[in-house]
Amino acid sequence: MAAVTAPAFSPAPALPAEWRDFLALTKPRVMTLVVFTGLCGLLAAPARIHPVLGFTAILCIAVGAGACGALNMWYEADLDVHMKRTRDRPLPAGRMDRQAALHFGVALGVGAVAVMGLAVNLLAAAILAVSILFYVVVYTVWLKRRTPQNIVIGGAAGAFPALIGWAAATGRIDVLPVLMFALVFLWTPPHFWALALYVRPDYAAAGVPMLPVVAGEATTRRQMLLYSLPMAVAAVLPWPLQLTGAIYGVTATLLTGWFMALVLRVAASSERDPALMRAERQLFRFSILYLFVLFGALVADRLVLA
Amino acid sequence: MIPPFDAEYRRRQRARAKVTAWALAAMVVLFFAIAIVRMH
């Protein structure tokens, strides 16, 4: 197999990188959401796990997400330099040697999977390994620059933590974590395309084939609605299936209704000026809150049921 | 006197070494905790 080499970029900096730059490589803000969904998967599971092992499992999920962030930045430095949102990252800003980012990412990934396997269980370690490889190889290296459906594929990687948390606690996979996986997977396209609509010029400048750049805004708005419909089903389904109680059921129904109203507004809009895309910004911000509250309600519900 | 470039170089190396040492110490504590939990 040919070795993966990152697209050419800039010369190495003269000074060694600061530890803060290594921390920035792990994308701490993305990690927050990953840790949260992983923790929710772990707490929603019907089995109890020792707090030390639970902490270790969440730490491994966080470090695995950090590995994904570092390897993503290692590979995408040539793109990041063109985008306003990303040009101050350690590599495009010239504060770090590219090889250091690669070694750091690989070490974090291997370490996280090994500790998960040794301390928690092999199923959780296997899913963690698959999610890291999926994000780095399938999404970042293979598909992100080739298809406008890139974010759909990336969404699958982001959907794994809840599954890993559940597997860490129980050692198996059930219907509820699969629905949680489906929810995050189907939530990602409307969430991310809302952002992509109003930062489209940035993606166009970097040459990333984001859907609004390649297929236009009307298609993007339609596709957002298309993914939101099954997402709504996945969000509400645990209640009628009696996998959760009314706390989650009512929260999911109300918030999903609100989410759909925002998506419908975006789908019906024909605004072309990114500066005036208020509905899109609102949907992007609400979508983050939506996932946090929904998963929080799921945990509250399961703890009450238990 | 140490040239500013060398001083900055050393400062960064020292700061990284310190963070690495703390991370390793935390891992050792965690490994002991895991070992104790798994033994019981």
* A105, pLDDT greater than 50: yes
pLDDT band at residue A154, thresholds of 50, 70 and 90? confident
CA-closest candidate to residue A117, choices A170, A173, A60, A34: A60
Contact B37 A16 (CB under 8 A): no
Q: Which of A25, A48, A49, A56 to mutate to test the interface with B (most CBs of B within 10 A)?
A: A56
CA gap A30, A274 in Å, rounded: 24
Q: What is the pTM of this model?
A: 0.88
CB contact under 8 A, B30 and A59: yes
- Lookup result for tokens 């730490």: A59
Question: Are residues A119 and B34, on separate chains, in Cβ contact within 8 Å?
Answer: yes
Q: Please report which confidence band the pLDDT of residue A132 belongs to, taking 50, 70 and 90 as the band edges.
A: very high
Query: Is A16 within 8 Å of B19 when comparing Cβ atoms?
Result: no
Q: Does A13 touch chain B (CB under 8 A)?
A: no
Selecting from A16, A19, A52 the residue whose C-beta is nearest the C-beta of B33 gives A52
Average pLDDT, chain A: 92
A15–B30: do the CB atoms touch at under 8 Å?
no
Pairwise CB contact (< 8 Å): A15 & B15: no
pLDDT at A301 over 90: yes
Question: CB-CB: which of A18, A52, A53 is closest to B12?
Answer: A18
- Please give the average per-residue pLDDT across A228-242, as a whole number: 97
pLDDT tens track for A4-61: 777 776 666 778 888 999 999 999 998 998 999 999 999 999 998 999 999 999 999 9
pLDDT recorded at residue A11 = 61
Q: Is the pLDDT of residue A244 over 80?
A: yes
CB contact under 8 A, B16 and A52: no
- Residue A10 confidence (pLDDT): 64
Identify which has the larger pLDDT, B8 or A252.
Answer: A252
Q: How many CB pairs under 8 A join A and B?
A: 30
User: Rounded CA gap, A90 and B32, in Å?
Assistant: 34
Q: Place A1 in a pLDDT band, splitting at 50, 70 and 90.
A: very low
Apex CA A159: angle with CA A177 and CA B27, to 5°?
90
User: CA of A63 to nearest chain B CA: how many angstroms apart?
Assistant: 12
- Asked whether the predicted pLDDT for residue A148 surpasses 90, the reply is no
Residues A165 and A179: their CA atoms lie apart, in Å, by 14
Q: Do residues A167 and A124 touch, judged by C-beta distance below 8 A?
A: yes
pLDDT at A294: 96
Question: Which candidate in A21, A50, A104 is best for mutational testing of the B interface (most B CBs within 10 A)?
Answer: A50
